[in-house]
Amino acid sequence: MVSRATTVNQALNDAVSLREPQKIHEAMRYSLLAGGKRVRPVLCLAACELVGGSEAMAMPAACAIEMIHTMSLIHDDLPCMDNDDLRRGMPTNHKVFGEDVAVLAGDALLAFAFEHMAVDTAKAGVPPARIVRALGELSKAIGAEGLVAGQVVDIASEGIADVGLEKLEFIHVHKTAALLEGAVVLGAILGGGSDDEVERLRKFARCIGLLFQVVDDILDVTKSSEELGKTAGKDLVADKVTYPKLLGLEKSREFADELNKDAQAQLAAFDPDKAAPLVSLANYIAYRQN
């Protein structure tokens, strides 16, 4: 994780350089380079290599996914959304650059993500058909059938007492898992994986995507803001439905264990040595402390 995250950070720094207009590029870089675990890009690279591809084939897509993830965080923190002041241990983008520039920084990261992935993946020698397929997957993962769908239902569910497990799962499969799934599937497609390999990895990613959110919900009620690097307990304050709220802490932890086992079962058909990084990443997501 540390080694790959360092490589990804360098690639992100190179991709979004400081140029004119300086204000918008400063805002983009402020949030993009503010640290973070880089789970999504590392998953993308690991999936690509699992099916026989190289790091170079997936690095532009890995960076694009992190740009889009950062966009979602910038927009999520805005006063009209979650109204948060802290992200990755630093003031949120709108607190530093203002709401207007924060919105535009997110928009710019989203647009540039597709440009960077399309142009630089082609430079790495990946066949055009794979690139087009991957771009389609990414678009679906973040649009009105993916990340945005989860966000909208999440907003509509605030303060409602009877939000059930089915709706909670819909929110998180779309809001959180969709982009994690996209990261893995993009890596598999760009690396030349077969349809069967891509689908196995899709199922793996869906499980760890939901796992990521279940663990996030648990950490939100068991850790401090200092430990998390973001505001703790904000879901409780916003009266949002979470897994601990519906299932209780113990049942939530059991559900997380079940998701981790289901995810790793999808990797059984692959070479164990090549699948080891993804197994480790699943365990990292399950047992992380922030």
| Cα 83 from Cα 239, distance rounded (Å) | 14
Confidence (pTM) = 0.91
Helix axes 195-222, 39-50, angle to 10 degrees: 160
Q: Where are the alpha helices (DSSP H) in 84-146?
A: 93-97, 99-123, 128-142
If one counts every other C-beta atom within 10 angstroms of the C-beta of residue 289, the result is 9
Q: Count of residues for the chain?
A: 290
Strand, helix or coil for residue 6: helix
Which helix or strand (DSSP H or E) is residue 22 part of? helix 22-32
- CATH code assigned to 2-287: 1.10.600.10
| pLDDT per position as a tens digit, 103-137 | 999 999 999 999 999 999 999 999 999 999 999 99
Q: Which candidate, 169, 179, 178, 142, places its Cα nearest to that of 242?
A: 169
| pLDDT per position as a tens digit, 25-68 | 999 999 999 988 899 999 999 999 999 999 999 999 999 999 99
**Tens-of-pLDDT digits for all 290 residues of the chain?**
888 999 999 999 999 999 999 999 999 999 999 988 899 999 999 999 999 999 999 999 999 999 999 999 999 999 999 899 999 889 999 999 999 999 999 999 999 999 999 999 999 999 999 999 999 999 999 999 999 999 999 888 887 877 888 999 999 999 889 999 999 999 999 999 999 999 999 999 999 999 999 999 999 888 766 655 656 555 555 567 889 989 999 999 999 999 999 999 999 999 999 999 999 999 999 998 87
